[in-house]
Structures are given as structure tokens and as C-alpha cells.
Amino acid sequence: MPTIKDVAKRAGVAVSTASYALSGNKKIKGSTREKVLAAAKELNYRKNGLAMDLKKNKTKTIALILSDLTGPFYSELIRGVQELVLEKGYDLIVCSSYGDESSTAVKFLRETRTDGVILLAHNIENSFIQGSAREGFPIIVLDRYVTGDPNIISINVNNVNGGYKATDYLIRNGKKSVAFISGPSNSADSNDRYKGYLNALKDHGQTPLSKWILNGNFTQEGGYQATKMLIHQGEMPESIFFANDEMAIGGLEALKESEIRVPGDISIIGFDDIQLAPYLSPPLTTMRQPKYEIGKLASHVIFQVLERVQVKESYSFDTELVERSSC
């Protein structure tokens, strides 16, 4: 790999001259510029971005870290983030936190490779995030509430309220019982939705039954298994609240296999409003998260911090009930 030094030598100029010429600085005479450019082309010269970033102490890239690249991608979120990031002349890279703390996330959280990160990955622990924050390196956390560092900003959806609204909707529609399929126990999102579920139950004078509270791990397969379990238990609830849409898809499958009709025999509601939701049969009633808006805000806030303007330490969004045909 030829370096700028090789280019300079070939063009018969000093390194700095080559550098200036390459970056289009106008203080270089036209003819010398040509010479340099020609030399660069002949050698097939490629600038080393790493060296540049190191020198400038700035990468002009933002990382978006997701727990799973292969899941139903939050494309709305990405769109929100990407728009502003590109507009600001920055680049966006997205990577996975798969593999916990030995994962790619470490590289980008710990080792100064981007100018900031937006994090939506429940498998990374709070303490790790806190240990990664530092002056001038903002971390925007999207799925929980992390305090104690001015460089960590939390953006959340009001999950307790969302869980409440979902459960309340079911009960108001006359359902005498509602089961809850949760996400992983370390997910604050899931736990909060559960809290809302509990609150709604209480307000309506219903008692939570542990046999109707199962873990579905936020995955389609998990939702399928949990629903199967529910079915095998014999007595079915009149409705199920899945803590995310993916699990609801699995649930729908399990129900169909047992020829239990939705919404005829049982009502189900999801959470998130993923792209697929309207295409399911029946189209899934769910709690919509304003993903685009969240992405937009996340990127907005990250640049605020980068530009050293004061921001709040946390933001919150509300969810919205999207009525389709599964209830």
C-alpha cells in the first residue's frame, strides 16, 4: 500500500504539499496539484482514514448498536437516526452486541472508534455503559434509564403506561382474563410493560395468575413455545398480551396449529408495531412505539452533546394503541 510519502516522492514534492494538493487546499499551484494527483493515480494511492482520524482526533461517525442485527430490524428507527446523521456530514455504522461483553459493542463503546453511540441492546449491562462514558463521548441509551453521567442520555418509551393501556383495552373489551408473555428478565422494557399489566389488572380488580404469566424471550420461537405451554395447561385465558410483536407472531402460529381462532376464541395484542404487524392474519392490534421519532431525537441529542449544548438527561415518549383485527 503506497502512502502519501510515496506519492510525494513520485511527484517530486514534499509530503505536506502532497497532502494539501490531495485535500484540495487552494494554496497549491495548479501544475503541482496535477503532478501530485497524477502520481497518486499511478500508484493507486488510497488515503488511510485511520491515520487521519487519529490525527484529527475525530471520526465523524456515529455507531448504532443493536442487540441483534438479524432480528426484525427497527428500520423506522434507523431511518430517523440516519437522516440527521448524514445531514450533519457524519456517517452511521450499525453493529451488533451479539456475544455480550466480548462483542463488537465493546470495540465501539470502549475504544474511541466513533464520536458517539446510540445503544439499543438490553444485553449490555448498565455498569458497562457507565464505565464507557467519558467526556465528549455521548452514549444515548434507548431501552432503559441510566443515570449518573452527563454523557449518558436515556430516551425511553413509557412502557409502564403502554403495558397499562394494552391490558386496559383488553379488559374494557370484555375480556375476563389476560395472560402476559414477557421478554427476557433483564429487559427493562419487558419489566415495565409487565408493571403496567399488573397495574391495569389491579385497577380492574383482577388477580394476576402465575400460570398465565410466561416468558417468551422477545423471540418468535419463544412466543410460540410460551403459547403452546399456555394451551397445554388446559384452561385458556380470554386474551393474551405479548410484550412484543415478534412473540405475538409465534403465538399466532401456535394458536393456529391448535385451531384456536383469533379473535373469535381469543384476543391478542402485541407491542411495538413492527412492519409485519399489519400483514399478519389477522392483522395485529398492538401498541405502537414512535420509532422514527425516537431515532430522530436520539441523533439530535447526540449532536447536541457533541456540540456541548446542555441537554436533559432523559426523554420519554408515549405509545399509541393501533387497533387492527386481533382483538
Q: Rule CB under 8 A: which residues touch a copy of itself?
A: 1, 44, 46-54, 59, 61, 63, 69-73, 75-76, 78-79, 82, 86, 91-96, 98-99, 104, 107, 110-113, 132, 134-136, 249, 275-276, 279-281
The interface with DNA within residues 17-56 (CB under 7 A) comprises 17, 19-20, 22-23, 27-29, 31-32, 45-48, 51-52, 54-56
135 binds, among a copy of itself, DNA, none (CB under 5 to 8 A by kind): a copy of itself
Complex with a copy of itself: residue 140 or 198, whichever CB lies closer: 140
Complex with DNA: residue 6 or 238, whichever CB lies closer: 6
Residue 147 engages DNA in binding (rule: CB under 7 A): no
Distance CA 22, CA 7 (A): 10
Nearest distance from C-beta of residue 19 to DNA, angstroms: 4
The kind and range of the H/E element at 285 are strand 285-288
Q: DSSP letter at 213?
A: E
289: buried, middle or exposed (CB in 10 Å: 19+, 13-18, 0-12)?
buried
Q: How many CB atoms lie within 10 A of CB 278?
A: 13
Is 222:247 a contact under the CB 8 Å cutoff? Answer: yes
94 binds, among a copy of itself, DNA, none (CB under 5 to 8 A by kind): a copy of itself
Query: Residue 138: CA atoms inside 13 Å, Cβ hemisphere, count?
Result: 26
User: Given the C-alpha cell 450499525, which residue does it identify?
Assistant: 94
Nearest distance from C-beta of residue 36 to DNA, angstroms: 9
The kind and range of the H/E element at 162 are helix 159-172
Complex with DNA: residue 1 or 309, whichever CB lies closer: 1
Q: What are the cell numbers at 113? A: 472508534
Binding site residues, DNA, CB under 7 A: 1, 3-5, 12-17, 19-20, 22-23, 27-29, 31-32, 45-48, 51-52, 54-57
